[in-house]
Amino acid sequence: MKKRLLLLWFVSSLLSAQTIYKIVKPDGTVLYTDTPQEGAEPVVLDSNTQNVAAPTPTQKPLQSQQTKKQKVIYEVSITSPEPEATVRNNLGTVIIKATASPTYKGRYQLTFDDQTNWTNSSGIFKLSDIDRGAHSYRVDLIDNKGKTLASSPQQTLYLHHASVLINAN
């Protein structure tokens, strides 16, 4: 009922000044305007139409609008090693460091060679006994329920072991 009264008020206020046009958008919504546009039809009001004052819209208190939580968008970046880096370590030790922006006191989860076995709150992962060769990895930021808030891009590192044949006396 309020929408109908508001529409009648709008139509009558525009009618006193100029022609009103009705436009039906492709999604089915109806738009009334005083500006002629393509596909617009002039609205003809019959003599039974009355001017009706629309009720004043109630305003919500400013506090309730400010207390609504805004969705924070997090980003995770891997600070070490660089993408496509070659790590030289005969023990197979790799350290992966990640940070979140904005700062989040949640958990970081490392996926290394498609296995998710490492989770901590520091974003620093020390992996041992990694075989030489190419390895893919990414770090996710997760909340306390396990929901992923952000993910770093997938990266690759190359672990190099010195040959056992070098300086073998």
Q: Domains for the chain: give ranges and CATH numbers.
A: 2-53 (no CATH), 75-160 (2.60.40.10)
DSSP assignments along 48-78, one per residue: T----PPPPPPPPPHHHHHSSPPPPPPEEEE
Integer-rounded Cα Rg, in Å, for the chain is: 32
11 and 46 Cβ atoms separated by less than 8 Å: no
Cα-based torsion angle of the residue sequence 128, 130, 132, 137 in order, rounded to the nearest 10 degrees: -110
Is the pTM for the entire model greater than 0.85? no
The two beta strands, 85-88 and 155-160, are: parallel
pLDDT, one tens digit per residue, over 2-30 is 555 555 555 565 555 567 888 888 888 88
Residue closest to 132 by CA, chosen among 91, 83, 82, 78: 91
Give CA–CA dist 56/108, Å, rounded: 51
pLDDT, one tens digit per residue, over 39-85 is 888 877 666 655 555 555 665 555 555 555 678 889 999 999 999 99
Mean pLDDT of the chain: 79
